[in-house]
């Protein structure tokens, strides 16, 4: 019975059948898919920005840029920008983050030819007042409608100085105001203790507690401390003590007097009223004395013979017995009135 498989090699016609089957199996393997970079004209696609060196375009590329130095030094490295497309790629470079302002590039705008990698040198200038420790930043590369970021880590060496001061302490009502200044080159997390003493002993004693802030080097911050149970009548001295890591500490004090307003105002009104009464009385006495003196000067000395069986008269009216007042007596009375006048005037003005 003849076989139903046409490709069984039993005759000279089987060889062409085998060749056709083999060609059908190998054809998909011989035709390669087009590369992503050969898409033709258009915006560049697939470009990268990485730290240069160490297999910058492969699996062993550095994950970030690491620089280490001291204050007032310049640290250098390179950035690799790879353009696999058929069109040129223009990239703009800038720094970002805490270390961003310290970054400088050989060219802030770089044009990378097609299918080319460009290594761009850059430098990081560490300021002279840089604080020892670590900080981070980024290199931002923007081009072709995309943005790539490369991390930068910086380690700054050198001695660490911790110092702080407490300034401008002021006690106002139920609030204590003060300022903290970081005088060193390291960040500080301060702790505050408060104590207040009055005339008869302690009024406030708060142990040291952490403040909710981190004081950067050279930073000044103004703070307040509430005192809800401040005294109503006392003379107090408030002392603030601030400590931080690294042995940094300082203390300062301020004094204040607490006096109730209503009793003081009432006492002042009573004093003013008493002075007014005394002044009014002195003024009236002075006025009466002046009136009597004016009448005596106007009437003149006594004339006419005395009436029979009675005191001497003037113009028919009884007068006091005795000789008439002399000019010397009148002057003495005036001098006596002038001496008493300043006291009366002072009481009236008060």
- pLDDT in the model for residue 33: 37
pTM (2 d.p.) = 0.47
Helices of type H across 50-167: none
Q: What does the longest C-alpha to C-alpha distance in the chain come to?
A: 203
**Is residue 118's pLDDT more than 90?**
yes
**Is residue 166's pLDDT more than 60?**
yes
Label residues 173-212 b or e (16+ Cβ within 10 Å = b). eeebebebbbebbbbbebbbebbbbeeeeebbeeeeeebe
Per residue in 225-247, pLDDT (tens digit) is: 999 999 999 999 999 999 999 89
Length of the chain counted residue by residue: 350
Query: Are the CB atoms for 236 and 196 separated by under 8 Å?
Result: yes
Residue 326 pLDDT grade (very low, low, confident, very high; cuts 50, 70, 90) = low
- pLDDT in the model for residue 60: 67
113/88 Cα distance (integer angstroms): 5
Instruction: Report the interhelical angle of 327-349 vs 261-299 (nearest 10°).
Output: 160
205/131 Cα distance (integer angstroms): 36
Residue 50 pLDDT grade (very low, low, confident, very high; cuts 50, 70, 90) = very high
Q: Quick check: helix, strand or coil at residue 133?
A: strand
Per residue in 53-67, pLDDT (tens digit) is: 866 555 667 899 999
- Torsion sign, CA atoms 100, 102, 108, 110: negative
| Tokens linked to 163 | 């110092």
- pLDDT in the model for residue 346: 47
- pLDDT in the model for residue 296: 75
Q: How many other CB atoms are found less than 10 A from the CB of residue 165? A: 16
110/118 Cα distance (integer angstroms): 8
What does the mean pLDDT of the chain come to? 78
The residue to which tokens 């909710």 are assigned:
212
103/163 Cα distance (integer angstroms): 29
Per residue in 143-153, pLDDT (tens digit) is: 999 999 999 99
Higher pLDDT, 100 or 349: 100
Residue 319 pLDDT grade (very low, low, confident, very high; cuts 50, 70, 90) = very low
Residues 6+ apart with CB under 8 A from 99: 124, 135, 136, 137, 152, 154
């Amino acid at each position: 019975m003849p076989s139903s498989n046409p490709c069984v090699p039993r005759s000279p016609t089987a060889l062409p059948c085998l060749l056709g089957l083999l060609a059908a199996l190998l054809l998909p393997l011989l035709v390669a898919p087009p590369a992503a970079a050969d898409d033709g004209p258009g915006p560049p696609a697939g470009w990268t920005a990485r730290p240069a060196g160490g297999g910058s375009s492969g699996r062993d590329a550095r994950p970030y840029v690491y620089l280490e130095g001291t204050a007032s030094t310049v640290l250098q490295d390179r950035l690799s920008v790879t353009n696999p497309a058929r069109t040129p790629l223009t990239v703009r470079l800038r720094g970002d983050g805490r270390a961003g302002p310290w970054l400088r590039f050989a060219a802030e705008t770089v044009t990378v030819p097609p299918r080319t990698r460009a290594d761009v040198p850059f430098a990081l200038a560490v300021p002279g007042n840089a604080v020892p420790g670590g900080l981070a930043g980024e290199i931002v590369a923007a081009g072709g409608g995309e943005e790539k970021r490369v991390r930068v880590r910086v380690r700054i060496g050198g001695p660490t100085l911790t110092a702080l001061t407490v300034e401008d302490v002021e006690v106002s009502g139920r609030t204590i105001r003060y300022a903290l200044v970081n005088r060193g080159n390291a960040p500080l997390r301060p702790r505050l203790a408060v104590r207040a003493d009055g005339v008869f002993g302690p009024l406030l004693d708060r142990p040291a507690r952490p403040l909710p802030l981190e004081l950067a080097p050279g930073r000044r911050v103004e703070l307040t401390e509430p005192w809800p149970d401040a005294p109503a009548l006392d003379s107090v001295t408030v002392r603030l003590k601030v400590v931080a890591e690294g042995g940094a500490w300082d203390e300062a004090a301020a004094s204040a007097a607490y006096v109730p307003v209503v009793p003081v105002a009432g006492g002042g009104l009573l004093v003013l009223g008493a002075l007014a009464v005394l002044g009014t009385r002195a003024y009236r006495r002075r006025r009466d004395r002046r009136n009597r003196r004016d009448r005596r000067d106007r009437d003149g000395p006594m004339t006419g013979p005395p009436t029979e069986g009675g005191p001497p008269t003037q113009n028919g009216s009884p007068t006091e017995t005795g000789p008439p007042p002399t000019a010397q007596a009148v002057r003495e009375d005036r001098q006596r009135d002038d001496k008493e006048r300043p006291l009366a005037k002072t009481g009236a003005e008060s």
